[in-house]
Structure 1
C-alpha cells in the first residue's frame, strides 16, 4: 500500500499533540512582565516539547518522502511511534505542575528515549520491507547522532534524581542536534 494514509494520519495525530500542549498553556494572571516571568518555566517546557514534536514531524515527513510502500508491520511501527509522541503533552504537563522535580523530568526523558527507540523501529521496519537497491538502504543508518542521543537520554534520566538541570541540558542538547534534518534524506528526496 502507498504511504499517503500513513502520512495523513501521522500529521493529524501530531497536530493534535501540539494542540493539546498549547491548550495546557494558561495566560499569566497579571498583565505584567512579572506575570510572564512567573510562567516562564511553563513556556520553556512548551517550547522544548514543541521543538521535539517538530523534529519528529519533520524527520518523519522526510522519511516518508523516500518511502514507496508500507505494510501492516510498518503501520504498527508508526503507531508505536505516535503512541510515545502522544505522551509528550502528558509529560510536559506533569513537569509544569511540579516544576523542576526529579520524577516528572525523568519521565519526560523516558518518553523522549522511547520516542527515539520507536522511530528507529519504524526505520528498521521500512528497511526490511524495501529491497536492497532502495535509497532507504543507503540513507537510514545508525549514526553518531542516533547513538549519542541514546547515550544522552540514558545518562540524563537517572541524573534527574541528582540534578534536574543536567537532565534538562541533555534534552536540549539532543534537540539542538536534531533540529536540522538529515541531509542524506533531503538529497534523496530531490532525486
Structure 2
C-alpha cells in the first residue's frame, strides 16, 4: 500500500488543527496595549500548542519518508495519533477559558502524553513493517528523548494539581526537548535519498 494517502491525510488534519486553534482566539475587548495584555495568556497557550503540532508534523514527515510499505495497522495507528492531536484545540481553549485551572491543565497534559504514546505506537508499527534492520529502525535507535518525555509529562500532570503553572512549565520542557527535529531521522532520510536517488 502506498504511503502518499497517509501523508496527505496527516498533513491536512494537522493544518486544520492549527487553523481551528487560531480561530478559537478571543479578540481583545479594547483596542489598546492593555487590551492585548488581557489575551496574552491565550497567546502563550496557543504558542505551546502550535509548537507541539509543529513538532509532530515535522517528525511525522521524516518518519513516514523513511518508512517502507504501509499496512492497515499502520493506517489505524496513524488515525490513533491524529485523534489525540485533534483534541489539542479543545484542550487549549478549555485551559484558556478556565484561567489555567488545575483540572484543564492536567487533562491537557494527559492529552499530550496520550499523543506521545500514539506516536510511539505508530513508529513501532512502521519499524515492524520495514524490519528491525531497516532505515527507520536504525535511525530511531536508542531514543533517550522518547524514554524520558513520558516521565516529564507525568510529573507535569502531578504538578498541575498543585500549581498549574508548574505543570505547563513541564510540558514546555518536553516541547523544548523535541523542538529541533530528530537529527537521526534527518540524517537517515538524507542517506536514503542519496542511495535511492529519490526525494
TM bin (shorter chain): over 0.9
Look up the match of 2:194: none
Determine helix, strand or coil for the equivalent of 2:70.
coil
Give the unaligned 5+ runs of structure 2: 192-199
TM-fit CA distance, 1:133: 3.1
The 5 Å alignment of 1:40-119 reads 40-119=40-119
TM-score (norm 1): 0.97
Contact between 2:62 and 2:186, CA under 8 Å: does it hold in 1?
A: yes
How many residues align structurally?
A: 191
Output the CA distance in 1 between the equivalents of 2:162 and 2:132.
Answer: 46
Shift of 1:68: 2.1
- Report the Cα distance in structure 2 between the residues aligned to 1:132 and 1:19, rounded to whole angstroms: 37
Residue 139 of structure 1 and its aligned partner are, at CA, apart by: 1.3
- What is the CA–CA distance in structure 2 between the aligned matches of 1:117 and 1:127, rounded to whole Å? 15
SS class of match (1:161): helix
Structure 1 unpaired stretches of 5+: none
Tell me how far apart the structure 2 counterparts of residues 49 and 95 of structure 1 sit (CA, whole Å).
Answer: 11
Counterpart of 1:27?
27
- What secondary structure does 1:160 align onto? helix
Shift of 1:142: 4.8
Match of 2:188 in 1: 188
Q: Could you report, residue by residue, the CA deviation over 1:13-53 in whole angstroms, capped at 9, with x for unpaired residues?
A: 00111111010012211111101110000010001000000
The 2-side partners of 1:84 and 1:71 are apart by 21
Counterparts of 2:142 and 2:162, CA distance in 1: 30
What is the RMSD computed on CA atoms of the aligned residues? 0.9
CA distance in 1, matches of 2:11, 2:177: 23
Q: Distance in 2 between matches of 1:22 and 1:186?
A: 29
Scaled by the length of structure 2, the TM-score of the pair is 0.93
Q: CA deviation at 1:10?
A: 0.3
* 1:141, distance to aligned residue in structure 2 (A): 3.5
4+ long deviations beyond 6 Å: none
Most deviating of 140-149 and 163-172: 140-149
